């Protein structure tokens, strides 16, 4: 039986001593800290990842210019204290250094 995506992300974060993550879905760019619920939650679902101190932007709103050297639209980000995402929605992720 294979590990779920939440466990895989947690293992990579432990190896790199960080909880900060970038998650991409088909439509969203999400950064935040993964909430460490491992062994603390009996009713947690394997298909959800809980994030805190989250910033979210729609990919189509993030970079709208078509010229070289243009800056991304950082005002497109919305902040949330907590955000849960289904592992089924994730198309990519990266572990980021602590800010």
CATH number of 9's domain: 2.30.30.100
Residue 59: its pLDDT value, please? 86
Residues spanned by the domain of 66: 5-95
From residue 27, alpha-carbon distances to 10, 13, 23, 84, 89 in Å are 23, 24, 11, 15, 10
pTM, rounded to two decimals = 0.78
Could you give phi then psi for residue 32, rounded to 5 degrees? Answer: 175, -175
Q: How many domains is the chain built from?
A: 1
- Torsional sign, CA 71, 23, 99, 52: positive
Residue 1: its pLDDT value, please? 37
State mean pLDDT over 68-81.
Answer: 79
Report the candidate in 31, 29, 36 with the shortest Cα–Cα distance to residue 6.
Answer: 36
């Amino acid at each position: 039986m294979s590990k779920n995506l939440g466990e895989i992300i947690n293992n990579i974060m432990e190896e790199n001593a960080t909880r900060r993550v970038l998650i991409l879905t088909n439509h969203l760019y999400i950064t935040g800290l993964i909430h460490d619920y491992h062994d603390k939650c009996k009713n947690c679902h394997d298909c959800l990842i809980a994030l805190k101190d989250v910033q979210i932007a729609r990919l189509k709103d993030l970079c709208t210019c078509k010229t070289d050297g243009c800056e991304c639209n950082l005002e497109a980000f919305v902040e949330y204290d907590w955000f849960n995402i289904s592992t089924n929605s994730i198309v990519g992720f990266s572990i980021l250094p602590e800010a």
